[in-house]
Amino acid sequence: MYCVKKINDDLYWVGGSDRRLALFENAYPIPRGISYNSYVMLDEKTVLFDTVDRAITGQFLENVEAVLDGRNLDYIIVNHMEPDHCATLGEIVRRYPDVQVVCNAKTVPIINQFYEFGVDSRAIIVKEGDTLSTGKHNFTFYLAPMVHWPEVMVTYDTTDKVLFSADAFGTFGAMNGNIFADELNFERDWLDDSRRYYSNIVGKYGPSTMTLLKKLATLDIQLLCPLHGPVWRSDINWYVDKYLLWSSYEPEEKSVMIAYGSIYGNTENAANILACRLADQGVKNVVVYDVAVTHPSVLISEAFRCSHLVFASATYNSGIFSSMEHLLMDMKSHNVQNRTVALMENGTWGITAGKKMAEIISQMKNMTILDDMITIKSSVKEDQLTEINAMAEAIVKTL
């Protein structure tokens, strides 16, 4: 049975959620599920905005059919050709053979790479600033390359001031009946997943996101319709402000994430002592994570939130503890930058972790590594408490 949500007089949400998928992109845990948003506009012409992941094909097709209520589908606007939004494009074309595909020049070859239905004969190719009228509604298209693929564009309905923002402003998390962000406690229940989504999926492309945000700053956006997560109809600037911080790699908070890789608990002990001394000195919202048990996507997200990062690693196989090495390489891949870093290393013999961590961090942009790395030999001793105190002081001084 169809399950749709009316957004305004002419616009309907026809997407769905997947609460079974363990790993989004086969990489990121999504314990709260994920929604794949798609929208239908009923005007003199009918318009579908993107499709959905194959996991919810049946629900989606029923939704589209129900909203169209016997009408033909005139246009499908393809803002993003990643399979979580295009896996059902072929089926839509098969069911609505007269549909015209509205996309930009970079989208066409990607459609032809995924599909054999031959998009060229039905494509309406749009460029930056081009418009399309469907009767009452007029749409303007803005290219948004690398937010998060090269062909991405966003579509602005100048009539109702609706922005179809593709992956931008999306979040992990299934939709649970309440489709509007103002019906949820977004800051309490969704912000962490939203940051984790941005930082891990789009975070590498901060400059591209900033370019898009500059374009959007000229628009009056009353309704924000992303491809994942809730629709925004109020407090949109609050969310845009988060994106301004994240895309410019500015920390959201002056706070500290301590990530440790510990084999027998001694490195963990040092991390915990440092966390206590930071808290003693007034630092709030300090977080401590065991890199072996916390998924790197959470740590990437926390690195986007916190101004200061501490990495404490045991030496392992003559190098960095493997989960810590994976985290640092992941941070580098996701373009984490502009942070102040402190390092702790541990080992019983042949201690190398600190030097090797510093080598990786030095390859990231604008990272300041504080002097006086702490070296622990097997376990923290009484006389090292002064060193840990001094590290806490050095961090507080630069907060």
Q: Which of 250, 142, 136, 132 has its CA nearest to residue 199? A: 250
- By CB under 6 A, which span of 78-86, 107-115, 175-183, 311-319 interacts with ligand FEO? 78-86
- By CB under 6 A, which span of 14-22, 80-88, 273-281, 338-346 interacts with ligand FEO? 80-88
| Least distance (Å) between residue 167 CB and ligand FEO | 4
- Site size toward ligand FEO, by CB under 6 A: 9
- By CB under 6 A, which span of 81-89, 115-123, 306-314, 347-355 interacts with ligand FEO? 81-89
**Could you give the C-alpha distances from 268 to 127, 285, 289, 290, in angstroms and in order?**
54, 18, 9, 8
Q: Which of 104, 40, 50 has its CA nearest to residue 72? A: 40
| Least distance (Å) between residue 36 CB and ligand FEO | 8
Among 45, 137, 148, 233, binds ligand FEO (CB under 6 A): 148
Distance CA 196, CA 300 (A): 7
Q: Which residues pair with 319 in a beta bridge?
A: 316
The phi and psi torsions of 93 (rounded to 5 degrees) equal -65, -35
Q: Which of 23, 14, 19 has its CA nearest to residue 46? A: 14
Q: Please list every residue from 228 through 257 that binds ligand FEO, using CB under 6 A.
A: 228
Establish if 356 lies at the interface with ligand FEO (CB under 6 A): no
Establish if 82 lies at the interface with ligand FEO (CB under 6 A): yes
Q: Which of 264, 306, 314, 304 has its CA nearest to residue 288? A: 306
Give the containing element (helix H, strand E) for 347: strand 340-347
| Least distance (Å) between residue 197 CB and ligand FEO | 9
Establish if 151 lies at the interface with ligand FEO (CB under 6 A): no
Per-residue x/- track, 191-210, ligand FEO (CB under 6 A): --------------------
Beta carbon nearer to ligand FEO, 135 or 149: 149
Distance CA 387, CA 383 (A): 8
Establish if 268 lies at the interface with ligand FEO (CB under 6 A): no
Establish if 89 lies at the interface with ligand FEO (CB under 6 A): no
Among 227, 256, 286, 320, binds ligand FEO (CB under 6 A): 227
What is the β-pairing status of strands 306-316 and 253-261? Answer: parallel
Per-residue x/- track, 103-132, ligand FEO (CB under 6 A): ------------------------------
Backbone conformation region of residue 50, classed left if phi is above 0, alpha if psi is from -120 to 50, else beta: left
Among 167, 302, 325, 345, binds ligand FEO (CB under 6 A): 167
Structural contact between residues 345 and 353, judged by C-beta atoms closer than 8 angstroms: yes
Among 5, 85, 196, 308, binds ligand FEO (CB under 6 A): 85
Beta carbon nearer to ligand FEO, 162 or 166: 166
Backbone conformation region of residue 282, classed left if phi is above 0, alpha if psi is from -120 to 50, else beta: left
| Least distance (Å) between residue 182 CB and ligand FEO | 23
Q: Which of 344, 310, 297 has its CA nearest to residue 194? A: 297
Distance CA 339, CA 307 (A): 6
Beta carbon nearer to ligand FEO, 117 or 149: 149
Establish if 84 lies at the interface with ligand FEO (CB under 6 A): yes
Establish if 50 lies at the interface with ligand FEO (CB under 6 A): no
The phi and psi torsions of 278 (rounded to 5 degrees) equal -65, -45
Establish if 212 lies at the interface with ligand FEO (CB under 6 A): no
Question: Which residues of this chain interact with ligand FEO, rule CB under 6 A?
Answer: 80, 82, 84-85, 148-149, 167, 227-228
